[in-house]
Amino acid sequence: MIKAKLSIDSNHYHYGPSRPTISPFEIQYFDLNVGDKIVGFQDDQEWEGIIEYDPTYPEEMKWFLDLNNCIEYPVSQEKMMGRSEGGRATMPIGEIRGEMAVVEAMLADGMNVEVVSKYTRLSRSRLENIKNRKSNLE
């Protein structure tokens, strides 16, 4: 049984093309566990794979979709267009974007990553990346 259908951003945080990561927020939001079958999709690709967890990976990469022996589905042009146009409204991404805006403002105001981490679901390493990116732009 397929438990969820998630948009996978395999341009970020992955150990090779067969292990696109899933954010800890999505794992918690959809109540996913190791071994659950899900369909992951990005642009013109869609795969049915199994959720795996590796505690030795960095925080953003611990949960991933194992695509070894996966089933790949064809994706029509219409479906691709619908994803990019309507997908944003149906996913909890807006919630994450709002949280990112607040976090970026807190870090821009000079708050310590340790303090900011108490008020967000984002990992410390992601907060460090945001802080470093902001300081490089200045």
Instruction: Supply the pLDDT for residue 14.
Output: 55
- Do 8 and 40 touch, CB atoms closer than 8 A? yes
Give the pTM: 0.53
Question: Which token pair is 62?
Answer: 């611990």
- C-alpha atoms less than 13 angstroms from C-alpha of 14 in its C-beta half-sphere: 16
Higher pLDDT, 56 or 137: 56
Q: How many residues does the chain have?
A: 138
User: Coil, strand, or helix at residue 84?
Assistant: helix
- Which residues, 6 or more positions from 35, have their beta carbon under 8 angstroms from its beta carbon? 50, 51
Please write the tens of the pLDDT for every residue from 57-68: 887 788 888 888
As a whole number of Å, the CA-based R_g of the chain is: 16
What ranges do the domains of the chain cover?
A: 2-82, 92-133
pLDDT in tens, 23-49: 887 888 888 899 998 888 776 778 888
Q: Please work out, in degrees rounded to the nearest 5, the angle formed at the alpha carbon of residue 128 by the alpha carbons of 34 and 67.
A: 25
